[in-house]
Amino acid sequence: MNASASSIAPATILITGGSGFLGSRCIAQALAAGHRVRASVRDPAREPQLRAALARAGVDAGDRLSLHAADLRRDDGWSAAAAGCDYALHVASPFPAEIPRDENELIAPAREGTLRVLRAARDAGLRRVVLTSSFAAVGYGHPPRPAPFDESVWSDTAAPLAPYVKSKTLAERAAWEFVAGEGGGLELAVVNPVGIFGPVLSDDYATSILLVKRLLDGALPGTPKLHFGVVDVRDVAELHLRVMTDPAARGERFLATAGDFLSVSEMAALLRRNLGAAARKAPTRELPNWLVRLAALADPAVRQIVPDLGNRKNASNAKAKRVLGWNPRSAEEALVATARSLIELGVVRG
């Protein structure tokens, strides 16, 4: 993190989903910048694991970190967690590896949980909430387009969308509506990351990391014709802190992507090039769309990717760079760091 992101006055920050992949990185960078952190978690018994993860990131949390039990599905705990805080980073949101049978299993906690955090922040007099939304709220439900998506675009909820995509879109919409109608003096700003990769600190990591794991461990017979945005978790955490305090970020959305989207085939080739024998199981052939569609008949997890087969999306990070001076690592660095950390932690064998 450079000086412009770390020179803000020390504050007390509520960070939701504190034990998660992005949440723990936000905590690490906030503590490194001199702030105090209140982290909301569903299970406070995970505190030793969280502190161990922070130590792997080079941060001694000491007494500047406290954990508070709070669940997105319930009102209990949010008022106490927000009391005395200056800002909140609302990072927590469900993102399961498998599709739920009922889309409301994702939509309800995402939308209602966001409103619970915003109400608690408003009532406690916080200055600003930074909501972790997603590219999922920007680039889905649209016909193929040559131009990169920017922050002016919203995913079309009238189109058939995967439950996660719909949940992120509706949760962000609800947040903007709440702040406009009931927020009082509370400010809102939003970060919309693409797929978050980067060094893994614990066994609690993002679903996106599973893609790299499966490329490394030979679980994929070939690569589907899909394209993903890549961004390093360290850069997403830094962007949250910039958005938290910069006056220019008030009422704005910021896409977080390292650059142009990559195909899964390009990701596999990149891992082989950088890791050599450790990536020897990464597939070298691309699967035809008809074969992926056939597999989707029996596998709900495959079924959700079918609408995007062959549809190359892209997104622009120009706004975050221009307005906030954000300068992310390359997609290659993020993916290689992901792979190396998985090997170091023993998640995959090198």
Phi, psi of 222 (to 5 degrees): -170, 175
* Tokens, residue 22: 């992005």
SS3 220: coil
Weakly modelled stretches of the chain, pLDDT under 50: 1-6
pLDDT of residue 347: 83
CA distance linking residue 240 with residue 2, whole number of Å: 13
Task: For residue range 278-318, list pLDDT tens digits in order.
Answer: 999 999 999 998 998 898 888 766 777 777 888 889 999 99
Question: Of all helices (H) and strands (E), which one includes residue 230?
Answer: strand 230-232
pLDDT of residue 205: 74
The single-letter DSSP state of residue 255 is E
pLDDT of residue 4: 46
Map out the domains of the chain with their CATH numbers.
9-204+230-260+314-330 (3.40.50.720)
SS3 206: coil
pLDDT of residue 97: 54
CA distance linking residue 283 with residue 264, whole number of Å: 10
166 is catalytic: no
pLDDT of residue 109: 84
Answer whether 163's CB lies under 8 Å from 106's CB. yes
CA distance linking residue 329 with residue 196, whole number of Å: 12
